[in-house]
Amino acid sequence: MSTKPSATASLKRVSRLAEHRRESARALSRLRSAPAATLITLLVIGIALLLPALLLQLQRAMSAGIVALESEANISVYLDLGVSEIDTKRVSEQLLQLDEVDSLEIITPAQALAQLGETAGLDSEFLASFDSEVSIRSQNEDNNTWFSPKNPLPTTLVVSARASGDETLAEAAERLANQIRGVERVESVTVEGAWLARLQALTQIIRRTAQLLGLLMAVGLLTAIGNTIRLSVEQRRDEIRVSKLIGASDAYIARPFLYSGLFLGVGGGLLAWLLQLVVVGLVGHEIGQFLELYAAEAGSSGAFALSETLQRAGQELGLLLGAGALLGWLAALVASRRAIAACEP
């Protein structure tokens, strides 16, 4: 007794699936019959999805770069000019006793001068003269003066801060810098991270802009896809009236238009993903170089590397296809139901 109802339900499910396949094939055929209009609609959808996706991609890359740069935030401690090695060692040991200090590096005036010469491209003979003990004669209008050139750079201690609890590394570095300023023989203290807050604010601006732009683009896509579906309904007004006369429901008549909106959304999402790969491939290296300008070591950020972008390609594809499909289906649902309801037999 239970076999017959089960077989009937199975046949109904098969019939519904066959019906959906037939309607989806009809919708795809209608889109293919108007390639120019379909291509224009796909381009509109793809570009609209591309703009907020690129901004979000940029924001994620910069956020990842900031996380890497935060781990390299240092405090530069400049000691008094002419400080002795004994005083330098004493100050270093005193700083290492602080709980917030993670590590410490001593840069002597000679090392600082060599780094300055390498960065500024100064002549080696000119740099060597600062370490020379030979007096150099300088002619003055009134008399002759003698002087020995001295290295004008101070001894520098590069201190790495350690964050604790919910405190950020920038907050820990600032608090540690205030403690170091009171240490004897310390001339000045610089926290190398003030620009990091500005970079973080920039990423938040990009993120909020991407969200607002995405919302505006969603409204625009709903309108664009809805107008395309509404035009398609108008072109088949007589066919819809005949279908209503023979008893077809509005939901049944709207099914192929829903598939059309779904296909347009998926196609636009796929096009946006392909365009995104192209744009990221073209500008990704330059953005990586921009982030490396703030890194302590070249190549330490790696936030916008092409390999990492390719690893996220599957996730980006799923998001863009899902967003396009949802927007296409919603636009087709609203537009087709209203247009079909207006087609009275």
pLDDT at res. 297: 44
Q: Is the pLDDT of residue 72 over 80?
A: no
The two beta strands, 144-147 and 156-161, are unpaired
Please provide residue 297's backbone torsions phi and psi, each rounded to the nearest 5 degrees.
Answer: -125, 140
The percent of residues in the chain predicted with pLDDT above 90, rounded, is 11
Q: Is the pLDDT of residue 45 over 60?
A: yes
Task: Report how many domains make up the chain.
Answer: 3
Together in a domain, 293 and 204? yes
Together in a domain, 334 and 202? yes
Together in a domain, 329 and 205? yes
User: Distance between alpha carbon 285 and the CA centroid of its chain, in Å?
Assistant: 14
Task: Give a yes or no: residue 48 inside a domain.
Answer: yes
Together in a domain, 306 and 337? yes
Together in a domain, 232 and 300? yes
Together in a domain, 147 and 205? no
Q: In the predicted model, what is the mean pLDDT of residues 28-38?
A: 85
* b/e burial code for range 174-209 (CB count within 10 A of at least 16 → b): eebbeebeebeebeebebebeebeebbeebeebbee
Structure confidence at residue 267 as a pLDDT band (50, 70, 90) = very high
52 token code pair: 């907020």
CATH number at residue 182: 3.30.70.60
Together in a domain, 216 and 334? yes
* Alpha-carbon dihedral 297, 298, 302, 307, rounded to 10 degrees: -140
Task: Give a yes or no: residue 62 inside a domain.
Answer: yes
Domain boundary among 192, 220, 254: 192
| Model pLDDT for residues 89-116, shown as the tens digit of each residue | 999 999 988 888 888 888 888 787 777 7
Together in a domain, 138 and 229? no
Q: Is the pLDDT of residue 344 over 50?
A: yes
pLDDT at res. 121: 64
Task: Give a yes or no: residue 293 inside a domain.
Answer: yes
> What's the predicted TM-score (pTM) here?
0.62
Full domain range(s) for residue 128: 109-154
Together in a domain, 228 and 317? yes
Structure confidence at residue 265 as a pLDDT band (50, 70, 90) = very high
Together in a domain, 99 and 228? no
Together in a domain, 148 and 133? yes
Task: Give a yes or no: residue 228 inside a domain.
Answer: yes
| Model pLDDT for residues 195-215, shown as the tens digit of each residue | 666 777 788 888 898 889 889
Together in a domain, 31 and 177? no
Task: Give a yes or no: residue 1 inside a domain.
Answer: no
252 token code pair: 């049944």
